Chains A and B, each alone.
Chain A
Amino acid sequence: GENVEQHPSTLSVQEGDSAVIKCTYSDSASNYFPWYKQELGKRPQLIIDIRSNVGEKKDQRIAVTLNKTAKHFSLHITETQPEDSAVYFCAAYGSNFGNEKLTFGTGTRLTIIP
């Protein structure tokens, strides 16, 4: 099955600086890679996603890059703000027939220092 690794587990960044979170996946058949933000006790919220036919996607201060050959993808947050503090999860979605499911990374606790 799919295995997703995520680094770092914790990340502290000065407000205004950039944050980068990296993930690798094992199943070359995975074709969809969402990123979720989860605040304490709340549901995961989709913040950005990328599909395997695209190398990069950007939405305001958030961008995601995908390297299919190396099987890794990264989340980039620029001009960080205190409200960016949360736990971020990457995930990989396999589209194997009858086995479509998300496999999550272990999470990164991002703290923005004012």
Chain B
Amino acid sequence: GAVVSQHPSRVICKSGTSVKIECRSLDFQATTMFWYRQFPKQSLMLMATSNEGSKATYEQGVEKDKFLINHASLTLSTLTVTSAHPEDSSFYICSAPSYLAGENIQYFGAGTRLSVL
């Protein structure tokens, strides 16, 4: 199947710093990518939809100034957690839809575990 690469896999940072997470579709182009947040033992909560060449669409309750999304090319979307605080510690996962098999299937990155001290 299609491959979505996400980096870094783990980041530990001090409170107040910004952290950038990259999501790449390796063997297909993605005009749309999705960013999720997952708390321990909970489900994936959609944060925002990243759109290539236009503004991201944020879900209700997600601060767009806090979670900056940039979809600069058809294979790369980035999520920047600005001025991170301990409550931002979580598992962040991106996904991208692939039509390689002729149907829309979502493929997920490996996730980024963010720990803010």
Please state if A43 and B109 are interface contacts (CB–CB under 8 Å): yes
Q: Chain B residues near A109: list those with CB within 8 A.
A: 41
Q: Is there contact, CB below 8 Å, between A49 and B105? A: yes
B108 close to chain A: CB less than 8 A = yes
- Please, which residues of chain B bring their CB within 8 A of the CB of A41? 91, 111, 113
A44 touches B43 (CB 8 A): no
* Interface residues contributed by chain B, number (CB under 8 Å): 24
A102 interface residue per 8 A CB criterion: yes
Residues of A contacting B43 with CB < 8 Å?
89, 104-107
Selected contact of A43 from candidates B45, B105, B110, CB within 8 Å = B110
Other A-B contacts than A44-B108, A100-B97, 15 sampled, CB-CB below 8 A, are A36-B108, A41-B91, A41-B111, A41-B113, A43-B93, A44-B44, A44-B93, A46-B1, A46-B105, A51-B103, A89-B43, A101-B49, A102-B106, A103-B46, A109-B41
